[in-house]
Amino acid sequence: MNTTSAHAAQNVHAFTQEARDAVYQAIFSRRDVRGQFLPTPVPDAVLSRILTAAHHAPSVGFMQPWNFLVVQSPQVKRRVYDAFATAHAQAADLFEGEKRSTYQSLKLEGIVESPIGICITCDRERTGPVVVGRTHMKTMDLYSSVCAVQNLWLAARAEGLGVGWVSIFNQADLQQALGIPKNITPIAYLCVGYVSHFHAKPELETAGWLPRLPMEDLVYFDQWGQRDDQQPLMAHLQRDQTAAQNVRQTAATA
């Protein structure tokens, strides 16, 4: 098969340009939402679609270690918020000077404001002690549950929903607030709901906490730390970073 024919055969599996653009728009305009939640209820049909997307994430050994704990009760949200507040105060003491002031000024959750909370967990014992693909890297089940988080997040963005991942918890406090057994690992507490707007940039980037790293500093060839700026790929990466920035700015102002 010549090169042209091989390329044509490969493209049979590609999405249409419109569908590809939609996928990349969801990726580049996805944001960690904290303070823009609206009280608008999320219809069960929409919630079902994003949960189904999460359930179709890849998982090591096809063990599907996740559960999805949907939080709607104001009383339960308040318990979750109290667990966050305790850890948040502890975390502030870990920073010094200007960093501490900046940290304390940041809005880092929308637990009470968001209509729905979703806690995605990992049952590391779901299919027994020996799992295909987890025989040597025992953390692969945890990474699988993170894939479910990302699937849900991108599906939610496509549905016009904001998602905020709250990670500032003492694990035991979050488990107690939600009645999660000790043998089940909480992976992500997600605040989910419609929002007033999406920011063009991540809030921590806008606040000057950290910049987005340039791709050319993150890509190596063949061996760790081995850069090659003459590789044709590098020019493509620079072009696509600019395109991604344009997509996120357009999505934010739409």
The answer on 206 and 226 residing in a single domain is no
- Determine the structural domain holding residue 125 and report its residue range: 31-212
Calculate mean pLDDT across residues 223-252. Answer: 88
Give the model confidence (pLDDT) of 27-44 as tens digits.
999 999 999 999 999 999
Give how many domains the chain has, as a whole number.
2
Claim to verify: residue 208 and residue 218 sit in the same structural domain: no
Structural contact between residues 200 and 252, judged by C-beta atoms closer than 8 angstroms: yes
For residue 24, being part of any structural domain is answered with no
Q: Which pLDDT band holds residue 10 (cuts at 50, 70, 90)? A: low
For residue 117, being part of any structural domain is answered with yes
- Domain-embedded: residue 231: yes
Q: Are residues 72 and 178 in the same domain?
A: yes
The reply to whether 150 and 235 lie within a common domain is no
Q: Is the pTM of this model over 0.85?
A: yes
Task: Assess if residue 168 is contained within a domain.
Answer: yes
Backbone region of residue 113 per phi and psi (left: phi > 0; alpha: psi in -120 to 50; beta: other values): alpha
Strands of the 116-123 sheet, one edge to the other: 66-71, 116-123, 184-194, 161-166
53 domain-assigned: yes
Residues 102 and 142 in one domain: yes
Q: Crossing angle for the helix pair 74-92 and 97-105, nearest 10 degrees?
A: 170
Distances (CA, A) of 121 to 85, 109, 181, 188, 190: 21, 19, 11, 7, 11
In tens, the pLDDT along 94-119 reads: 999 989 988 998 999 999 999 999 99
**Residues 252 and 159 both lie in one domain:** no
